[in-house]
Chains A and B, each alone.
Chain A
Amino acid sequence: MIGMSTRHILLGLLASGPSHGYDLKRRHDERFPEARPLAYGQVYTTLQRLVRDGLAEIEGTDSDGGPERTRYRSTEDGSLELARWAGEIAPPAPFVTNEIFAKVVVSILSGGDADAYLRAQRAAHMERMRELTAVKTAKGADLATVLSADYALNHLDADLRWMNTTAARLTTLTAEVDAK
């Protein structure tokens, strides 16, 4: 999750309003407690790239008597890019849960349609599970094939259960994230 989608997660955090790098790091670490904490350096590098790519811009600086801090905000292109990423299904391979989790949280933060994303992701998971089941149950499938299909099926099933539960409690989850 860290690396590929740090820029999207920062964009997601900026969706609720302009922020400083320090606050973004703190909110990221709160919001994604299972992820490795973001390094300040990574936050600033990512923010500079977002500005370079026109997805974020500098709104101003604050000092509050201390060191000067730059305040960033998302641009319209940034919001579009965030919506595109949050709605894009993750490849249904084992261990994609972190990305799915991040997309759901980011969707909620940015007022996106987490429910629609979950439905699409769920359908992609089911399609992959049907393929794996067909491979596993084909007459003459060898043990290694069956075991590897089983392994993937059980991990996809775990994702799917989490998605079902999340869809069911989405109203509650949205209320919690909004309250923060």
Chain B
Amino acid sequence: MNHGDSKVPLLAARDLTKAHGRTEALRGASVELGAGEILAVTGASGSGKSTLLHCLAGIRHRAPVRPDDPGERLDQLSENRLSELRRTDFGVVFQFGQLIPELTALDNVALPLVLAGTSRRDAQARAGEWLERFGVRGQETLRPGEMSGGQAQRTALARALVTGPKVVFADEPTGALDSLATEQVMTALVHTARDAGTSVLLITHDAQVAAYADREVRMDDGVMATAGVTA
């Protein structure tokens, strides 16, 4: 197995705190994600795991996060730099893939490349390769409404990886899928991320999904739960 080198954290967060109104979602959470590492963050509903992902990915709020490479602090970045980071270094997938309903599978995957200035033709060619890696063949012209849940999530993963990001943030990517579709999506994600050397931060409440990761950290009430001592 190609385990990530945990000595070289790609992302590191120390003592993150975040409140939604009066509710403290994060109460001093710390986590490190190694280069090429697949890390599962598990915990009960409301334990703060999704908020952690949002802070790390800089989606919802700037957070005191320090990616050691290229050595930037997310909480000190300009809006422009943050957007650029999200566009080039971060890929994101949610429970429902957030594909654009009017676009075909191929154009959905090509979109991040087009937005980054690649010609539509080149973008579509690369999008086709990524769809193939995720086992979505012959469905390039389908629109999200015409796909199964598993196809839609694999398309969303292809879109998250098409720009060659350093990290993919996946928030319950299989939460709406049956067990066989879950297996296909997770197998595709793990194989593709390992081949590309991409780190994955995987949020899940499902132990069978967490078992695809190299390592698991559990959250409990906004902080990291004490790791169990393995015998």
Contacts and interface: CB of A to CB of B under 8 A. Distances in A.
Interface of A: 88-89, 116, 119-127, 129-130, 132-134, 137, 139, 153-154, 156-157, 160-161, 164, 168
A130 B228 CA distance: 15
A134 B215 CA distance: 13
A130 B213 contact: yes
Contacts of B1: 134
A127 B229 CA distance: 12
B129 to A, nearest CB: 19
B167 to A, nearest CB: 21
B195 to A, nearest CB: 11
B212 A120 contact: no
A123 B231 CA distance: 9
B227 A123 contact: yes
A138 to B, nearest CB: 9
Nearest to B43: A164
27 contacts: A89-B231, A116-B229, A119-B225, A119-B226, A119-B227, A119-B228, A120-B228, A120-B231, A122-B228, A123-B228, A124-B230, A124-B231, A126-B207, A126-B211, A127-B230, A129-B210, A130-B212, A132-B211, A133-B212, A137-B186, A137-B191, A139-B191, A154-B208, A157-B208, A160-B207, A161-B207, A164-B44
Interface residues of B, number: 21
Residue of B187, B211, B229, B230 with highest tally of chain A CB at under 10 A: B211
A130 B207 CA distance: 10
A126 B227 CA distance: 12
B92 to A, nearest CB: 23
B231 A168 contact: no
B231 A137 contact: no
B210 A126 contact: yes
B142 interface: no
Contacts of B212: 130, 133, 137
A153 B229 contact: no
Contacts of B229: 116, 119-120, 123
A121 B228 contact: yes
A111 B193 CA distance: 46
A144 B62 CA distance: 48
A173 to B, nearest CB: 17
Contacts of B231: 88-89, 120, 124
B211 A133 contact: yes
A123 B230 contact: yes
Nearest to A121: B228
B89 interface: no
B85 interface: no
A137 B207 contact: no
B227 A157 contact: no
B178 to A, nearest CB: 14
B211 A130 contact: yes
B216 interface: yes
Interface string B122-157: 000000000000000000000000000000000000
B228 to A, nearest CB: 3
A154 B211 CA distance: 12
A129 B207 contact: yes
Nearest to A88: B231
B211 A153 contact: yes
Contacts of A157: 207-208
A137 B190 contact: yes
Contact of B211 (A121, A122, A124, A129): A129
A14 to B, nearest CB: 26
Interface string B196-231: 000000000001101111101000000001111111
A158 to B, nearest CB: 10
Residue of B44, B191, B208, B212 with highest tally of chain A CB at under 10 A: B208
